[in-house]
Amino acid sequence: MRRPTELDRTVPLRIHIHVGEGRYWGQWTQVDTFAAANVFLNKVHRSAPRGGGYDKTDFTIWGTALAEVLGDDVYEGRIDVDGDHSPDLKRHVAGFLRYVADRMPEAIRLLEILASLP
């Protein structure tokens, strides 16, 4: 499978995940829920380094659920998946949004939307 070049902006939620290193280096997936994203991230987690180190994993989130705040933009980030802690992408994104909420006015609205997404 190739990484998509066009983002389908008609879907309610789409999450694209790309593993940047480790056993699953170069693999990617595209899912429609945070729960499905965590299934993939937990596969990476099971082979990631323990006791220090991690596998860099990039993600992109978009869709009509976020369009009210993001417009045509996407939310991009990175989660460092280690072998010691089970990853939770939704919690990871929410933690970042809470961290920047005082400097990024749209973060509060994104947190509200995020709470309602599967």
Q: How many CB atoms lie within 10 A of CB 91?
A: 13
Domain residue ranges in the chain: 14-116
pLDDT at residue 7, as a whole number: 58
Structure-token pair, residue 49: 């380094």
Structure-token pair, residue 14: 């789409």
pLDDT at residue 35, as a whole number: 95
**What predicted TM-score, i.e. pTM, was given to this entire model?**
0.83
Confidence of residue 31 (pLDDT cuts 50, 70, 90): very high
Measure CA of the first residue to CA of the last residue in the chain; give whole Å.
25
Nearest CA to 70 out of 40, 114, 16 is that of 114
> DSSP labels for 5-37?
SS--TTSS-EEEEEE-SSTTTT-EEEESSHHHH
Range 36-53 average pLDDT: 88
- Check: CB of residue 86 under 8 Å from CB of residue 39: no
Name the DSSP class of 48.
Answer: S
